[in-house]
Amino acid sequence: MLDPVTYRVMTVCTGNICRSPMAEIVLRDRFEAAGLDVDVDSSGVSDEEHGNPIDRRARDVLVAHGYVPDGSHRARQVRASDLSSRDLVLAMTSQHARALRRLDPAADVVMYRSFDPDAPDDGPEHLLDVDDPWYGGPENFETCLAEIEAAADGVVAYVRDQVGGAA
């Protein structure tokens, strides 16, 4: 008997050390809690942080909120082949979404915050950007995590619908 195909989700930000790995960790936690077999990973549109671990400040805010980063994350740049092998690609900003759509026009690229029921649902796509905490302090990382968490259950519900209600 063949193993069922795992649904694959990728989160994407700029350097793959703050927003996208934070979203990856939050989504893994939520998918596991929902009993869904989903493979979640992350990448960046830039290679400037290639090989670096998750930003210490991002790790600290995750740990403070009960998440357990496993320490294995290493930043990497997204490739077109990544996009074609994922069922859902979640962009952290409209700029990331544009870069991803240029890389692979056929990829299913969706704004991460479009799954937040309280996020703007009309107007320019950039209104759905997840705030970049990089240049800020701990409060900016708290805001970023709050935006990620606010959309996470919507992502889980969407994926559950895509896989046919499996739980």
Catalytic residue IDs: 13, 19, 132
Which among 154, 158, 140 is positioned nearest to 22, based on CA atoms? 140
Residue 4: exposure state from Cβ atoms within 10 A (0-12, 13-18, ≥19): exposed
Residue reference for tokens 């990829």: 107
Say whether 95 sits in a helix, a strand or coil. helix
Task: Say how far apart CA 100 and CA 60 lie, in whole Å.
Answer: 29
- Any residues with CB less than 8 A from the CB of 33 and at least 6 apart, and which? none
